[in-house]
Chains A and B, each alone.
Chain A
Amino acid sequence: MTPIVRPTTKVGPYALEIRGVSHRFGQILALDKVSLSVPRGAFVVLLGPNGAGKSTLFALITRLYDNTSGEIRILGQDVRRQPMAALRTLGVVFQSRSLDSDLTLEQNLLYHAALHGIGRRQAKALSAQVLAKVGLAERAGEKVRALSGGQARRVEIARALLHEPSCLLLDEATAGLDVASREDVLRMVRGLVSTQGVGVLWATHLVDEVRGDDCIVLLHKGRVLFSGPAPALLELTQTDSLRTAFLRLVDSSNGGKAHER
């Protein structure tokens, strides 16, 4: 499948490029020849119902599972062959929380900085910077367990940005948040795309998180059913609602045809 989302703002390799990736858990085919790409400075929504394979795909991109078929490149670096170079340019926010709740916000960020080989002085400056960016600078010395769900999410985003990645992956980043916090997180991440030129892959099962001009990759039962701009999805399914378009494609997926625009 040819990636259809073209680089828009910057030249050079894609922030993320996936070609023909499959993955099995025993007899179960979790991903079937998945291909997609995220240009630098673009916001791409990986849309799929629960169990579509989004988290498995994230685990492969981040090398928590080993990718044995196809190719995954982050800023042109193959995740399997050049994991060090690839992971250096990647920031990730996982679906479930991954902060150490016994440590303070700053300590969590300093730990992350050390894991990227960033020296203490620079790490302190960067952590102050990213905490300010997510509006939590004044709470740097508080323990994570004192934060609300939305605030913890913002810290996770700050952490993902600390080593200045070119590609940002967010897996159901608004899960468990109230409407206001969801809007807040989404607005912040979209802002990063326009201000910092980060390529974002935003995985979600919530259609209402998709904006009219977003690029969408629709994943269902491990297969890409559609990839392209949101208006093309509406045109393909002959509807004016993304929700209806999403449901139609998912319902018809047993027929097994993938759509590209």
Chain B
Amino acid sequence: MPRRFAVSAYATCLAGIAWREVLRFLHQRERFLAALVRPLVWLFIFAAGFRQVLGVSIIPPYQTYVLYEVFVTPGLVGMIQLFNAMQTSLSMVYDRETGVMRTLLLSPFPRGFLLLSKLTGGVVVSLLQVYVFLLIAYFWEIELPLVGYLTVLPALLLCGLMLGAIALFMSSVIKQLENFAGVMNFVIFPMFFASSALYPLWRIKEANPLLYEICRANPFTHAVELIRFAMYGQLEPTSLLIVLAFTAGFLAAAIYAYNPSKGMLARRGEAG
């Protein structure tokens, strides 16, 4: 038996891990429904209600005044990816509790590759959700430039990876499924609300300079801005760099945490 795997074997492994993620997602119809209902409620109810209250000035990438629904759409796309990433984190904790995680960690492929494949699987699931959401939004008259549906894809991939890496790292810290409610309160909601998902940053700056700085430091803000610009065929370089840096940082931390000799699994005496 050769010591190393061929590139095609790596591809098979990645596809297999992603396939399981998609399969699990499709089996859980209520999860699919919840993933769509959440942003749609924000779009149909929250955004419609706030349309008259929150005026949005002409800020890049928009070249004219836009409806609040249009402004909030990239934020809601980010929200889908954020919640999906946390779902991935939850499924990692679940896999660990049920023992399925051991099947993954026992694979002869390098552990970093396995974790990256797991992340990619999560991102594929989030892409399914995002494009179904954008399709529904299209019929709600939120139409992106046609090319935008394509140019947003790499941004979605990257943001999905970043949020997934954060979630993956968190899954190594969360000891039990019961602790997941705490993650919702202390990570997801602050990340979402202290960002440019719902309101432009200049408005936040006017209201509270400290909150503005917090929003700027929030990686989710940069994910949303990267998606927002990409939807209009543009690149926001600062956001790209920050998202890249956070992806690399949290991915390294997650791989470290799942390393049998150095990570938290070893310190806690858990075998996955």
Contact = CB atoms under 8 A, between A and B. Distances in A.
Contacts of A103: 20, 23-24, 27
A114 B13 contact: yes
A145 B8 CA distance: 32
B112 to A, nearest CB: 12
A64 interface: yes
Given A59-B271, A114-B17, A119-B12, A98 B100 contact: yes
A94 interface: yes
Given A59-B271, A102-B27, A84 B110 contact: yes
A83 interface: yes
A181 B107 CA distance: 28
A257 to B, nearest CB: 28
Interface of B: 1, 3-6, 8-10, 12-13, 15-17, 19-20, 23-24, 27-28, 98-100, 102-110, 114, 259-262, 265-266, 269, 271-272
Contacts of B100: 98-100
A224 to B, nearest CB: 21
A96 B97 CA distance: 10
A88 B1 contact: yes
20 contacts: A58-B271, A64-B106, A88-B1, A88-B108, A92-B102, A97-B99, A100-B24, A100-B100, A103-B24, A103-B27, A115-B16, A115-B17, A115-B103, A115-B107, A117-B6, A117-B10, A117-B12, A117-B13, A117-B109, A120-B12
Contacts of B8: 117, 119
A119 B15 CA distance: 10
A113 B110 CA distance: 16
B102 A115 contact: no
Contacts of B10: 117
A81 to B, nearest CB: 11
A173 to B, nearest CB: 13
A27 B106 CA distance: 27
Contact of A84 (B3, B15, B27): B3
